[in-house]
Chains A and B, each alone.
Chain A
Amino acid sequence: MSLKHFQAVKLGIVVALGLIASSSIVRQNYIWPIMAMAVATLVLVLLRGKVKGVIADERDYEIGGKATRWAIQLFGWFSAVMMFVLYAQRAVNPSYETIASVLAYSVCFLLIVYSLLFRYYEKIVFFKDKTRAPGVSGPDSTM
């Protein structure tokens, strides 16, 4: 499968997912979008393996890393500001407090996941790669 074909299929899947999600909200059926997402992910993973060209390279990963860091920072700042604004306005509408709590917890969750993954890739994966390299001794002999 060519890269262009894969991208066309990916676009089609995204459009189909959007249609399924919107129609399920109207019908108040929340099982279909979850199932559709699972199937779409599976199909994309299977198709990804059949693509002959390079889908993403080191430059994409570098840009992705920068974009992710910025996105996390912006989301963190936006959520923190909005959280305080909503808490301050909870007298106007009590549901603001719930929204503020959801924002606060989602930021905490995101930062914890980011920190754990960062530590995993920095320490564990990096160390494993180092020990796998020929001529490099293992952890016991270096300490």
Chain B
Amino acid sequence: MKNRIKEYRTRLNITQEELARSAGVRRETIVFLEHGKYNPSLQLAHNVAETLGTTIDELFQFERKKR
């Protein structure tokens, strides 16, 4: 799953620490999120999207897995 968290965060000039505090998680979680190494819960995805002033759809690009 790709995401545009870093792009939005740098555009808004928000640090990882500030984003983490606003979303209610630790800074490390934001680091893992930005690198696409952690799939957030719907609640966290919503919190991050809300903090960055966008939507979950805009922020996360889901890739369809082959079944």
Physical interaction between A and B: yes
| Interface size of B in residues (CB-CB distance below 8 Å) | 12
Give the residues from 46 to 73 in chain A that come closer than 8 angstroms, CB to CB, to chain B: 53-54, 56-60
Give the residues from 19 to 54 in chain B that come closer than 8 angstroms, CB to CB, to chain A: 20-21, 24-26, 28-29, 32, 38, 40-41, 44
Check if A57 sits within 8 Å of B24, measured CB to CB. yes
By a CB distance below 8 angstroms, the chain B residues around A54 are 20-21, 24-26
By a CB distance below 8 angstroms, the chain B residues around A53 are 21, 26
| Interface size of A in residues (CB-CB distance below 8 Å) | 7
In the complex, the chain B residue whose C-beta lies closest to that of A55 is: B26
CB distance from A6 to the nearest CB of B (A): 13
By a CB distance below 8 angstroms, the chain A residues around B21 are 53-54
Our pick among A56, A58, A60 for the contact of B41 (Cβ within 8 Å) is A58
In the complex, the chain B residue whose C-beta lies closest to that of A57 is: B25
Known: A59-B25, A59-B32, A59-B38. 12 other contacts (CB 8 A): A53-B21, A53-B26, A54-B20, A54-B25, A56-B26, A57-B25, A57-B26, A58-B25, A58-B40, A58-B41, A58-B44, A59-B28
A-B contacts, 24 listed (Cβ < 8 Å): A53-B21, A53-B26, A54-B20, A54-B21, A54-B24, A54-B25, A54-B26, A56-B26, A57-B24, A57-B25, A57-B26, A57-B29, A58-B25, A58-B29, A58-B40, A58-B41, A58-B44, A59-B25, A59-B26, A59-B28, A59-B29, A59-B32, A59-B38, A60-B26
